[in-house]
Amino acid sequence: MIKLKLKVRNLGISTGGPLVAALHKDDASVFDINPMDRIKIFFGRKVETVVADIASGSAEVKKGMIGLFQEVSDILGMKNGQNVSIMLARKPISLDYIKKKLDGSSLSKQEIDQVVWDIVHNKLSDTELAFFVAATYCNPNTVEETVWLTKAISEEGERLRVNSKIVLDKHSIGGIPGNRTTMVVVPIMAASGYTLPKTSSRAITSAAGTADTMEVIAKVDIPIPEMEKVIRKTGACIVWGGAINLAPADDKIINVEKTLRIDAESQLLASILAKKRSVSSSHVLIDIPIGKNAKVSTARKARSLKEKFEKIGKALGMKIGVMITDGSQPIGNGIGPALEARDVLKVLRHDPDRPLDLEKKCIAMSAALFSIVGVKDGARKATEILYSGKAYSKMKEIIALQGGNPEVTPESIRIAKLEYSFPAKKSGKIVEINNGDIAKLARIAGAPQNKSAGIYLYKHVGDHVRKGENIFTIYSDTDSKIEYAKQILKSMDGVISIR
């Protein structure tokens, strides 16, 4: 088959994933290559299939040239001016499977495996990947498809091998500001002798993710060998999952969901359990908070998710426990990485001003994990470990091995220098705190990018307030952000409801 010879031009631009090369329109017409067609690039013994982009009137890609985006340059090891040959290639077969799913049909294990392989190896363009995400959103996966998707996602990437018969893990569906249970539950369970390799996420739409908060006091961006070292010495770790190549297909899918603002249930199930499977978890606790402003708004929806988690977990060989919890208001007092880190340390140190709601939930979740592994009276055991200081000592070990200062105190954690306090407009009882509004205000103040920014709550639902008494304070390092937060606060209807 005839090949077209072209001279390489490295564009120095990254696509963020898909493999793309740009052709001049005159060269593209030789093989009738159109935008989004696939071409094969031959360089010595190296061959790579990429997506074609057509440059029209571009000074960067002249006739006789091929412009390589960064990902293609890295794979082929090309330098400017070197010669390559190209030819038209067929599109990935997974596009047929994506269309099949769009048409409402179920996919086989082999078809799902191929789609996930193409996602991981950047064979699909952003548009094609978006169609796959949309297909599973409009035509939800069956339980069987979700099991296959979970396996495929977890197997396409690195795996953390843990030398322990029981490997614990936990996950919250999310959507509740300040819900930093991981940083208390992990040291409680590790101090009990269990292994818990916790990979956590950064914030997407919230004011802080667990990784953002843990990063205030320790390094979370660590490779798997270093992660394994921490686990061997302490029994646990709390790291950022995005720093390691565990379930990379899931990260790409989540980025598309974030852009489209959709959250397919079957993808949610596969995403969570694939990450757990990739770190060898055998016993997993799922926290499903329900509330008007939470991700899951009804008990019926929560029960349905619970059943699916248990069914899929069983098919994967995992023992799954599910807690349906109160998600009607923020947990703890701090909203934002630094403020939440202060809360966590206060609970671990058993400080008098610790947030009791966060402590109570952490003990309940630890008790649930004990129950999953067959240990009775877990609440009493978790309370003893927490109150005795054993959990705090374990957390200090983890912090030290993850490159932090184990002697960090709540008071030593810097909070943003500018503040604005919001007073009660009348006396009465707080009946509602809007999770979405609180998270939005904290983000406007600068969280999570500015770890010192956020909100501190003085009151919770059920508390009584007097007119003029401060309900919360907004912290920021930027005058304009404080002013913008104040403006948005004025336009919000019911961020705090008092009767």
Q: What is the Cβ-side half-sphere exposure of residue 350, based on CA atoms within 13 angstroms?
A: 12
Closest CA relative to residue 184, chosen from 231, 236, 228, 220: 236
Cα–Cα–Cα angle for 7, 9, 12, rounded to 5 degrees: 160
Asked if 238 and 182 touch (Cβ cutoff 8 Å), the reply is yes
* CA–CA distance, 216 with 208 (Å, rounded to integer): 11
Asked if 336 and 453 touch (Cβ cutoff 8 Å), the reply is yes
Token duo for residue 469: 């008494």
Residue-by-residue DSSP string for 370-438: HHHTT-SSHHHHHHHHHHTTHHHHHHHHHHHHTTS-TT--GGGS---SEEEEEEPSSSEEEEEE-HHHH
**Amino acid letter, 88:** L
Asked if 203 and 212 touch (Cβ cutoff 8 Å), the reply is yes
Peptide bond into 448 cis (omega under 30): yes
Residue 85 φ then ψ, to 5°:
-120, 145
Element counts in the chain: helices (H) and strands (E): 18, 18
Active site residue 437: no
Token duo for residue 410: 């709540």
Catalytic residue among 126, 263, 351, 357: 263
Closest CA relative to residue 343, chosen from 281, 409, 398, 391: 409
CA distances from 235 to 277, 365, 471 (A): 18, 18, 40
Q: Active-site residue numbers?
A: 263
